[in-house]
Amino acid sequence: MVDPVPVLGAVLLGGRSRRFGSDKAVADLPVAGGGVMGAVAVRALRDAGVDPVVGVGGTSGARLGLITVPDRRPGEGPLTGLITALGYAGTGLVVVVPCDVPRLTDLDVRRLLDAATPDTAAVGMIDGRLTPTLGCWPAAWARTGQAAFDGGARRLDSALEWGAHVTVDLDVTTAADADTPEALAEMFPAGTVADRPAP
């Protein structure tokens, strides 16, 4: 019998939220019983069976009930968040999700998990657009990622050059992000009730 591959869940919390205007991870969802936005990502990971789940960067991890792994290079963008998460895991796979996906479900996470291997990343594709902040990555790529960063890489999509990857179509209605308060409000029309109680 083959031992299962260890899987770490990592919620990216280190963004500056310039367009949103406040910390997106702890922004209130505009629905009854909705909780805060970052809790949706945490719940989707846990409902998919991912354990443990940590926060990467930022200051809101404790409010989400997470251990926070300090970003190796705060303020340098999501690429360093990914590299930090891979290095922290050390082995197996890392499912990385942003904190601003207020409709994310465990099914989205499971699609990524089912497509990834310890040698191949699975990267979300939403409405024809690659979305590397939603992906399942081999932890073994940490050193390659750090070397790329040290060599000047800063764009998150440069991580696709570290090894083989496949794309996974995700539903725009559940996997889209909310970069602004207006975008968040549009996702939850007046009168919407949360599907499940907030964690």
Instruction: Give domain limits for the chain.
Output: 7-187
Identify the pLDDT of residue 76: 79
Q: Return the ∠ at Cα 45 (arms to 138 and 62), rounded to 5°.
A: 105
Mean of pLDDT values over 167-190? 88
The pLDDT value recorded for residue 156 is: 92
Specify which residues 87 forms β-bridges with.
Answer: none
Q: What is the pTM of this model?
A: 0.90
CATH of domain 7-187: 3.90.550.10
Query: Is the predicted pLDDT of residue 37 greater than 70, yes or no?
Result: yes
Measured CA to CA, the distance from residue 58 to residue 17 in angstroms comes to 11
CA distance 130 to 166: 11
Query: 8: closest CA among 56, 79, 57, 61?
Result: 56
For 156, the token pair is: 């998150």
pLDDT of 80: 93
pLDDT of 33: 66
List of residues 6+ apart from 61 with CB closer than 8 A: 11, 13, 54, 55, 67, 68
Determine contact, residues 9/54, Cβ cutoff 8 Å: yes
Q: Specify burial of residue 32 (Cβ count, 10 A radius: 0-12, 13-18, 19+).
A: exposed
Peptide bond into 52 cis (omega under 30): yes
- Name the least confident of 19-23, 98-102, 154-158, 169-173: 19-23
Instruction: Identify the helix (H) or strand (E) that includes residue 131.
Output: strand 129-138
Structure tokens at 108: 């989205």
pLDDT value, residue 199: 44
User: What is the C-alpha separation between 171 and 32, in angstroms, rounded?
Assistant: 24
Tell me the pLDDT tens digit for each residue of 42-81.
999 999 999 999 999 988 899 999 999 998 888 778 899 9
Return the closest-CA partner of residue 108 out of 86, 82, 126. 126
| Distance in angstroms (rounded) separating the CA atoms of residues 178 and 187 | 8
The mean per-residue pLDDT over the stretch 76-101 comes to 94
Paired with 8 in beta bridges are 94
Q: pLDDT by residue (tens digit) across 115-170?
A: 999 999 999 999 999 999 999 999 999 999 999 999 999 999 999 999 999 999 99
Assigned token pair, 58: 């930022």
SS (H, E, C) 143-158: HHHHHHHHCCCCCHHH
User: Residue 14's pLDDT is what?
Assistant: 77
